[in-house]
Structure 1
Amino acid sequence: MKTFEILALGALFAAQGFATDNVLKPEGFVAKIKTEELERNLWNLDRIAKENGGNRAFGTPGYAASSDFILERAKTRFGSQYDTSIQYFTHLYNEVRQISLTGPDGEAVDTITLIYNPGTDDGPIKAPLIDTPVDDARGSACFEDQWAGIDATGKLALVKRGSCAISDKLRLARAHGALGVILYHNLPGTPGSATLSAESYGQIVPVATIKRDVGLAWKAKLEAGEEVVVELYIDAIFEDRKSWNIIAETKEG
């Protein structure tokens, strides 16, 4: 079988060309990667993103435009060195068109969504929060025994982020009756996004990720015996869309 490279967008064709005796030698490959070529590729991919609403995810116009850029370079500039092909397949596409979280005093709370986040299909979920234990050593709400005695039926579970996959937390929340999860960050600052994976579709509850300080403030109220009612709304779509890989195989192998 020929040597092949699945073309990562950030480092695509950043080399100046290959001698046949260097194709299979890592040091030969690395030596031919040029910083200016990497920067040029990144500049073009950034330009494509800006022209497509800041999005190059699969199933979007930005993905198709990125693919066109890669194919043009592969077939025109490097056609003598690579055989380039396209591998088509269908994959589950998710897009969160809107997400909002309203706090107990009616205030809008900053939140981010996660990739493959389920929607609140029947409209906003307005429900009291139920607290879950913090376990920084093992990971909070990551294991069944950490949910012992928690009946989250009809409620939104307040869960700390960290350690295990977020989808594991959401599966357990669903198993214990929660309508959704409010996930507060385990670090200061604005939380980053993450993927819940396509494989979790249909197995998890909706989730909103909030800053640590907000989550800790709500947790303190719950520990003081106060009721904390919040409202979560997520408008999300899920559908199968065509995607593809671009594969370049060295002619010599």
Structure 2
Amino acid sequence: MNKSHLLPPNLTLFGYQICPYVLRVRYILSLLELDHHYIELDVYASKPAQLLRYSPMGRVPALIIDNDALCDSTVISQWLSQVYAEHQLLPTNTWAKAKMMNDMAAIDSVHDAISQLISAVDKAAFNAALMRFSHVLPTVLTLLRAPCVTPNSLLDVWAMVLAHLVRSVDAVLQGVLSERIPHIRSLPDIYRSRESASVRYQALLPKDYLTQLHSMMAHRNAYCVQPNNIALEEEEFA
């Protein structure tokens, strides 16, 4: 069904302020200047019935359009890109589009590695997750190092959000990630940039972002945010 005629009056987005997948969609909605109703969920509370009606697993982001919904940041972003094709968030050339989606999938693999890292239940699981992260992050470093000036594609948005997340998780873990991968320190820092893209992204972040991130990580599993636990020995990665 073509729902483009419903935009923007009937858009509702469910999400969490610090969720990178939600931030992707919120940034694109902001970039496209689409009016929408944003509903912030309590990450520690039961999912509301209104969300579960459209997303039975409670997944976010969930973008409600009329009486239907999309519940995946990639799917939502692709759909918005097609509806608002004049913004050229995706290439029109099929090969270029496929290559961009391939790079976006590579970035998603790093998100998966970070999820495993912050969900580690013990030292062995944390070290294994850190090893995986160390293998996958270098494959996208070139994408992440690009200066965040004016994102004009979904890939730029994906890269900006991941670069910010990596630097933030590294800060919460007291530099454990950048000790393992020093190149992390050279990733763009949106807080020190006055470029329009960074300013737009900063506007979406809560002022206590790092505090919320730390709390979320501790709630998922306290192991990785305990100072004594994250002080890893270098020989463990020899």
Q: Which has the larger radius of gyration?
A: 1
- TM-score (ref. length: structure 1): 0.25
TM-score (norm 2): 0.26
Q: Which has the higher contact order (CA 8 A, sep 6+)?
A: 1
| Structure with more helix by fraction | 2
